[in-house]
Amino acid sequence: MLIFIPPRLAVRVNGLVSKDPKLTQANDFFFSGARLPGNTTNSVGSKVTPANVAQVPGLNTFGTLYVRFVTSNPENLLISKTLQVGDMFVFPVGLIHFQCNVGNGTLIIVIARLKAVENPCTVIVVNAVFGSNPPIPSDILTKAFQLDKKVVKNL
C-alpha cells in the first residue's frame, strides 16, 4: 500500500492544519483499529471501522502522484492511476512498480508492506520493464536507469 504526502507548512486541508514535516511522528501514519473486531450484532451484521484523517493524521495534505505497476508474464500489462487527496494504492507483491510526482513540490511517500501473498508469480524484469503494454514512457526509463534516451530506445 502506498500513501504519499507533500510537505507543506501551516496549510489547512479538510478543515485541519497540516503538520510541519519536521514534527511528524510514526503515530501520524499508524492506525490499528482495522485489526480489532467490531460489534456485528446489528441489523446488517457488519461493522465499518473508519480510517480517515481523524484516525490517521498523516492522510491530511495529499497531493498528486502517478502510480504504475506491470503485471506478470505473459501479459506484462501496465496498470496506472493518478492519486489525489485521500487516495491509497496497493501494489501487488513482487511486481515491478514505480511512482512519478505529477504535482508541484516535494512528496513524502509512505509505504506499508503486507505479508499475505494470495497468488505468487514469477516476473521477468526485462519483459515487464521493456515489454509492458502500453510501454513505460522512455523518459521514465531514462531517469530510472540513468541512461541516454537512445540506449533506452534500443533496449
Binding annotation for Mn(2+): 97
Q: Which of 62, 64, 116 is nearest to 92 (CA)?
A: 116
Residue 77 · residue 132 · CB < 8 Å: yes
Binding-site residues: 97
| Cα–Cα dist 19/25, whole Å | 10
> Mapping DSSP to helix (H, G, I), strand (E, B) and coil, where does residue 66 land?
strand
> Mapping DSSP to helix (H, G, I), strand (E, B) and coil, where does residue 83 land?
strand
* DSSP letters for 124-136: -HHHHHHS-BSPP
Q: C-alpha cell of 94?
A: 513482487
Residue carrying the nine cell digits 504526502: 5
Q: C-alpha cell of 68?
A: 504504475
